[in-house]
Amino acid sequence: MRIDHPAEDDTPRASPESRLADTPLADTGYDQPDRVAYFAEHRATVEAAYREYQAAREWDEAVPALREAWENHENKWPYPERGGPTVHPEVPGAWRGTGDRYLAPDANSEVTRGCARIREVGETVITPAMRRIEAEDPSRNLVGLDYRLKAEDRLKEKVADELEARPGLTAAKALSSVPDAVRFTFCYEDQRYASGVRADLMRLRAEGFELAKPLKNSWSSDQYKGINTQWREPETGQRFEVQFHTRPSFEAKQLSHDAYERIRNPQTSEPELDELEDFQRQVCGKIPVPPDAAEIDDPPRKEHDG
Give the tens place of pLDDT for each residue, 247-264: 999 999 999 999 998 998
Mean pLDDT over the full length of the chain: 86
- Domain ranges (residues) in the chain: 94-295
Domain 94-295: give its CATH architecture: 2-Layer Sandwich (3.30)
Helical ranges in the chain per DSSP H: 16-21, 35-76, 105-121, 127-135, 152-165, 171-176, 193-206, 247-255, 257-264, 270-285
Helices and strands, number each (H, E), in the chain: 10, 7
Q: Is the pLDDT of residue 208 over 50?
A: yes
Phi, psi of 143 (to 5 degrees): -125, 155
pTM of the model: 0.80
Of residues 38 and 233, which shows the higher confidence score?
Answer: 233
Least confident range of 94-98, 142-146, 198-202, 280-284: 94-98
Question: CB–CB of 111/159 below 8 Å?
Answer: yes
Partners of residue 186 on adjacent β-strands: 142, 244
CA 147 – CA 136 distance, rounded (Å): 22
> Lowest mean pLDDT: which of 78-82, 150-154, 179-183, 221-225?
78-82
How would residue 19 be classed by pLDDT, with cut points 50, 70 and 90?
A: very low
Least confident of 43-57, 141-155, 172-186, 239-253: 43-57
β-bridge mates for residue 217, sequence order: 227
Which pLDDT score is estimated for 8? 43
CA-wise closest residue to 193 among 75, 116, 294, 92: 294
Q: Per-residue pLDDT for 11 more than 50?
A: no
Asked whether the beta carbons of 17 and 36 are under 8 A apart, the reply is: yes
If pLDDT is split at 50, 70 and 90, which confidence band does 51 have?
low
Name the residue with higher pLDDT: 242 or 29: 242
